[in-house]
Structure 1
């Protein structure tokens, strides 16, 4: 495995595949904080050149974290289809990139190919791509999943309605929920982040959201994003949850800091199937985000893009209904400014889709980051062009419980109208029945939450 190159008369020698992958990354403050980023633009370009010539076999043969020592590595390696891998193992990373971007390569081709790749290979390809490359490649891939309704169709963009409340007050949550519904939001999920992680609080919110869904015959799903163990208890006690949620990470040690492992998530999936109200076949929801492993001091010197890809390799083992990255949520320590947030959002979406996942994005930023609402609206346009499965929306783009800025209900409506996208088919039919949408456009009735007061 060749780990050196000459660039403008200077020899760049790298110690390991781990170092090459880290230094080939586009600038990320998290990698700099971890002490693994390229020291200069020249070193970054040299690392990309070295990475481009490595083979997919090189990447598999030199694991960043040994499968003997890391559960996530075992899961990822165990999912590799041997026949497909053998057919491409001698490709260079540059050849993988060219194949992904080729006009002759279809989305179905990419989904088949991905079964022969591990997460590090997919991350390596992303590091050699421009933002437009990431958009173009991801847009090829259609991933359909079903819980109560199916999302992911080409030409659609779904949304998670996030009516969080700073005290989990049901009336306050319902006011926000009804406003979101009136804008046509919520076809992917009605999902609440609770303040109180108790079983009783989770049950109360699940019953309240499910009551609205049942009363108005809404073709959607509900979930309360407490810790997986809390949700499992609530569902076993009869709470009407359509799916079970958990945040995940790219190393076993980081997952342990979240209080999870493979066995627990498998158990959660079985409980969701046995006791949950979702029809399936998919019953799980995962969230990720670049930098979480560094926060947990469980990154092992691996860069945050590669770790994020490992999240998706871990996620696909469980066949989830939806996955989303919460890009920009952790803060400037990991993504310093809007340029880094936009890049991360496009990387994450592409890598998720290349794993065959139903990939969504919470397009967001914190108030101490060098970004503003215009920046995340830009990312919303780019991800809509990239074929993102769903986007998260909060009232007025301001999450009053989690204290971060996101896209608003009307932003999603505007993205659909501007980019000629539709809600999911069942949801659009329901919106038309309610008089909220007609011929793919919102009516004058849209934005009026009092529709749902009688």
Structure 2
């Protein structure tokens, strides 16, 4: 059922034609919603939409779907898996009341975890739209989401990193050199993850074997992943490849996932295949998902829903498969969707907040494309804010510049900065390994040029 929402201010009546329209008009300004034609026409209309949204009962989101149940399997997943028992403690609240409750002392880590399954993506997207940046940071920091494979991700006062050793020709020497460079800076506890330049099953297996050899030879408590299509990974598993994590980009609508060549059934098949290998040592969370605001719009599968709400719906897909890692590649699609540093920063904080509140181990690829109106100072700001919010993980790439994907992100040094400035540590198992290898004396004393003879000397040569 579609309902119109109205707000009268003096003689002026504002009308929002549906719940999707209200959510879109209440969204902080961003270029993607303007491109889609769903944004507020003025700052005044945006504020009115936010006030209208604040008065809306949370129960509304269980009665009106932004995308019809019959037309979209993501909507069906959201409705069919909703936990009414978990929702009961907050079912009487409006969106505005929910914001106030989230910021209260009552909403501690335990309580937030208990209600997580009772929240729909649209509820958390809605409340984020009436929150300041500091609100998003404070609530996200209170959320505790812990996952595990060969190490433990998401513990308090920890910040993990994905070591991203991409190479434009998939050179094994180049990739190996980047892996060792990243390890020297304490990067790689979330995952050592490669975007292959040549995306096929034989190449994926070759890269999997390289990373597995490094991990096994040096007994590194981490996991590897080749960011190939999920069906390639399933095929690699069937061929006996050393698969740790299964990767897939996902979206918040069925149409978006159709363009990725996936559905919920194939994700389930992949999860079961990877879990059957039993390669984890401290846990068996085997899925790694990436998302990003604007994905549904770029696929022309957004159904009139704003890009941030579509993004939150992607987290319902991720949540269903108990992932080890989820990250929003926040500025990767370009300025058509997030125009400048201010919009990228806001989107990164929204995504992190929504993901953690829904119970996800949320990380962020703090990034921008070269044609966006942003620079590395903007990324420093977002990195610091996400560090305060206790983001689960970030990216680590040499010099912040991915020479294969051609975008700007965070470097190995950036992880050191965040850990030192904010008193954060790597995953505990990985931290112990760094100290055992004498790469770290402790978290605030990183040894870059004084490694014991033989610890990494000749390592690349040994792999050839």
Q: Following the alignment from structure 2 to structure 1, what is the Cα–Cα distance between the partners of residues 451 and 252? A: 42
8 Å CA contact 1:366–1:405 kept in 2: the answer is: yes
Question: 1:330–1:294: structure 2 CA closer, same or farther, 3 Å change rule?
Answer: same
> By how many angstroms is 1:446 displaced?
5.7
8 Å CA contact 2:32–2:294 kept in 1: the answer is: yes
Residue in structure 2 matched with residue 12 of structure 1 by the alignment: 14
- The answer to whether the aligner puts 1:414 opposite 2:417 as a matched pair is yes
> By how many angstroms is 1:448 displaced?
7.5
Q: Following the alignment from structure 2 to structure 1, what is the Cα–Cα distance between the partners of residues 451 and 62? A: 54
Matches within 5 A, 1:35-46: 35-46=37-48
Q: Following the alignment from structure 1 to structure 2, what is the Cα–Cα distance between the partners of residues 452 and 232? A: 33
Question: 1:227–1:446: structure 2 CA closer, same or farther, 3 Å change rule?
Answer: farther
Of 365, 379, 391, 2:368 maps to 365
Secondary structure, counterpart of 2:276 in structure 1:
helix
Residue in structure 2 matched with residue 66 of structure 1 by the alignment: 68
Runs of 5+ consecutive residues of structure 1 not aligned to the other structure: none
8 Å CA contact 1:30–1:335 kept in 2: the answer is: yes
Secondary structure, counterpart of 1:275 in structure 2:
coil
Q: Following the alignment from structure 1 to structure 2, what is the Cα–Cα distance between the partners of residues 246 and 285? A: 7
- The answer to whether the aligner puts 1:132 opposite 2:104 as a matched pair is no
Residue in structure 1 matched with residue 462 of structure 2 by the alignment: none
8 Å CA contact 1:179–1:448 kept in 2: the answer is: no
Of 312, 334, 342, 2:315 maps to 312
Of 147, 150, 162, 1:148 maps to 150
Residue in structure 2 matched with residue 89 of structure 1 by the alignment: 91
Q: Following the alignment from structure 2 to structure 1, what is the Cα–Cα distance between the partners of residues 238 and 97? A: 49
Q: Following the alignment from structure 2 to structure 1, what is the Cα–Cα distance between the partners of residues 75 and 433? A: 43
Question: 1:311–1:447: structure 2 CA closer, same or farther, 3 Å change rule?
Answer: farther
8 Å CA contact 1:156–1:424 kept in 2: the answer is: yes
Residue in structure 2 matched with residue 453 of structure 1 by the alignment: 457
> By how many angstroms is 1:86 displaced?
3.9
Q: Following the alignment from structure 1 to structure 2, what is the Cα–Cα distance between the partners of residues 373 and 8? A: 45
Deviations 1:366-405 (A, max 9, x none): 0000000110011000000001000011110000000000
Matches within 5 A, 1:44-443: 44-275=46-277, 277-279=279-281, 280-443=283-446
Runs of 5+ consecutive residues of structure 2 not aligned to the other structure: 459-464
Question: 1:446–1:437: structure 2 CA closer, same or farther, 3 Å change rule?
Answer: farther
Secondary structure, counterpart of 1:54 in structure 2:
coil
**RMSD, matched Cα:** 1.6
Deviations 1:329-356 (A, max 9, x none): 0000100000000000000000000110
Secondary structure, counterpart of 1:415 in structure 2:
helix
8 Å CA contact 1:2–1:54 kept in 2: the answer is: no
8 Å CA contact 2:278–2:284 kept in 1: the answer is: no
8 Å CA contact 1:179–1:447 kept in 2: the answer is: no
> By how many angstroms is 1:179 displaced?
0.3
Q: Which runs of 4+ in 1 moved over 6 A?
A: 447-450
Q: Following the alignment from structure 1 to structure 2, what is the Cα–Cα distance between the partners of residues 320 and 447? A: 37
8 Å CA contact 1:437–1:446 kept in 2: the answer is: no
Of 18, 32, 35, 1:33 maps to 35
Question: 1:13–1:245: structure 2 CA closer, same or farther, 3 Å change rule?
Answer: same
Question: 1:98–1:105: structure 2 CA closer, same or farther, 3 Å change rule?
Answer: same
> By how many angstroms is 1:104 displaced?
2.6
Question: 1:194–1:116: structure 2 CA closer, same or farther, 3 Å change rule?
Answer: same
Secondary structure, counterpart of 2:22 in structure 1:
helix
User: So what's the TM-score if we normalise by structure 2?
Assistant: 0.95
> By how many angstroms is 1:81 displaced?
1.1
> By how many angstroms is 1:74 displaced?
1.0
Secondary structure, counterpart of 2:337 in structure 1:
coil
Deviations 1:172-217 (A, max 9, x none): 0011111000000001100000011111100111111111111111
